[in-house]
Amino acid sequence: MIVEMRTYTLKPGSQATVIERFGKALPNRLKLSPLAAFWSTDVGPLNQIIHVWCYADSAERDKIRAASTKLEGWPPEIHEFVVDQETKIMIPAPFSPPLEPRTLGGIYEIRTYVYKPRSMPHVIESWSAAIGERTKLSPLVGAFYSEIGVLNQYVHIWAYKDAGERQRIRAEAVAKGIWPPKSKVPDILVKQENALCIPAPFSPLK
């Protein structure tokens, strides 16, 4: 399976309108394949929407995207508000749960790390050893490494009821010594970013 994450940066003040138009256009697009998630940023990079789609492979993605251009009302009429667009194709880590419709919390944290080249096997190894204890505290929504787009990138997504729960759980994980994962290879992490996001009313992950 491959995961496509599409991030659109919007003109300030247009986020609500874009979400409304996207939601109205979505039913026709869902005839071809399901939406995995849709979020808008609340803390971190502002004025962004993020929509996530899953495909069996690149061939299926190409086929469905070609068919989608023939749908009435798709893509949604939001181009006037879009400042920038980014897409990346990612591979789920072995321990990443399925991106299935679930109600997990009011806030989703998307953390994006960039590692040194050839480091991803070490990242997967260290995370595999630690993820079981960490997910006892709060659910992992997904963990993916980049295949197309920014290389050596690792995206992990966590769900919390609210910002207070996030702060408490992260502090507890550190205090117990179960997080962050301990890599056998030092100094491989190059860059970190995060965003706190709110699910749209039509997002399968709420």
> What are the tokens at 7?
């991030």
pLDDT tens, residue by residue, 37-80: 999 999 999 999 999 999 999 999 999 999 999 999 999 999 99
- Give the alpha-carbon dihedral of 85, 32, 14, 164, to 10 degrees: -90
Taking the C-alpha atoms of residue 51 and residue 101, their distance in angstroms, rounded to an integer, is 14
Could you report the per-residue pLDDT of 140-170, keeping only the tens digit for each? 999 999 999 999 999 999 999 999 999 999 9
Domain spans of the chain?
2-199
Q: Tens of pLDDT along 2-36?
A: 999 999 999 999 999 999 999 999 999 999 999 99
Convert the pLDDT of each residue in 163-194 to its tens digit. Answer: 999 999 999 999 999 999 998 899 999 999 99
118: left (phi over 0), alpha (psi -120 to 50) or beta: left
pLDDT for the residue 16: 97
Q: Which among 140, 169, 175, 170 is positioned nearest to 154, based on CA atoms?
A: 140
Picking from 72, 68, 77, 71, the residue whose alpha carbon sits closest to that of residue 19 is 77
pLDDT of residue 61: 98
2-199 CATH choice from 3.30.450.60, 1.10.3720.10, 3.30.70.100, 3.30.540.10:
3.30.70.100
Give the CA-trace dihedral at 19, 25, 26, 31, to 10 degrees. -170
Q: Which pLDDT value is given to residue 105?
A: 85
Are 90 and 7 contacting, i.e. CB atoms less than 8 angstroms apart? no
pLDDT in tens, 83-142: 999 999 999 999 999 999 999 989 999 999 999 999 999 999 999 999 999 999 999 999
